[in-house]
Amino acid sequence: MIRRNLKHPEVKATRYRAHGGGIAHMILDTRHLQTLMFLAHASVGPGKKLIGHADPMEEIYIIQRGRGRMQVGDEVCEVESGDAIHIPIGHFHELTNTGQEELTILVVAGLIPTQ
């Protein structure tokens, strides 16, 4: 069993700026996982966003707290605590915090497919 949280020294050491507008930490990564690339936690302040981008792997964003606007490809919808958003491989995606409180998410990323 591997137990991690945001206070764990290995997790704290992975702090980084996520896509221009968020602060993120890798909770688990390929050092611990066999069929996933990572599990990350990110927070986005009111009025900030995770700038739109596309990734070479499948992802799931799980909204833990707050509310926002999520774009995946051409689709845009409002999201809130408890929502899970599937992001297919290579699709543009952007998350904007539209609420008055911090927006926090978990990001689950699959492995990059081999050609």
Residue 30: C-alpha distances to residues 38, 53, 106 (Å): 6, 22, 16
115, pLDDT greater than 80: no
Two structure tokens written together for 77 = 């919808």
What class, spelled out in words, does domain 9-106 have in CATH? Answer: mainly beta
Judge whether 109 and 38 are in contact, CB under 8 Å.
Answer: yes
89, pLDDT greater than 90: yes
pLDDT digits (tens, 9 = 90+) for 35-60: 999 999 999 999 999 999 999 999 99
pLDDT, averaged across the chain = 96
Distance between CA atoms of residues 33 and 35, nearest Å: 6
21, pLDDT greater than 90: no
Q: Where are the domains of the chain?
A: 9-106
pLDDT digits (tens, 9 = 90+) for 60-78: 999 999 999 999 999 999 9
